[in-house]
Amino acid sequence: MNLSLLKKIVCLSALLLAAPADPVSWSVAVAESGDGISRIVFKARIAEPWHMYDMGPYDGGPNATAFTFEPNADVTLLGGIEQLSKPVRVYDSLFAMEIGYFEKSAEFVQKVRVAPGRETTLKAVVEWMACDDESCLPPADRTFSIPLKAAAVQTAAGGASAA
């Protein structure tokens, strides 16, 4: 192997080892609200000193956090996804606009109704971009397969019945 090729391999290996792992980790949980509606809660944990952009949208700005749900005949999305966490708002001179971002953690919720008596899996993709004070990582995404079943509905007498 010639010396030039060996140097290139060593440099490339060093760059790959120095590249940070994604500083954002995700979890998802499903909670029933008792009215036949389930809440899918997405939680992002963000390692310091990184931050993740909010849902924007930012025309000509940074990549906002976005959620996409695969169509499912057994699931009705009720409204859009909501940010439960309040983002830090700042004016960004690089993009010449006000932006919002999250530090340490962020939570988002999507309300859904599952067809009565059904169990299904809803596929969701979340896309985000993480930055620190000096640089940004390329946008990343994660796909979730979320098991869902029809939520119980509270009756007027206070008991539960299947939705």
Instruction: Give the pLDDT score at 162.
Output: 42
- In angstroms, the CA 8 to CA 115 distance is 57
| Residue 35: band (very low, low, confident or very high) from pLDDT cuts 50, 70, 90 | confident
pLDDT in tens, 85-134: 999 999 988 889 999 999 999 999 999 999 999 999 999 999 999 999 88
pTM: 0.80
Chain centre distance of CA 27: 9
Q: Which of 78, 43, 44 is nearest to 148 (CA)?
A: 78
Average pLDDT value for the chain: 85
DSSP assignments along 56-101, one per residue: ---TTSS---EEEE---TTEEEEEEEEE-SPPEEEEETTTTEEEEE
- In angstroms, the CA 33 to CA 22 distance is 33
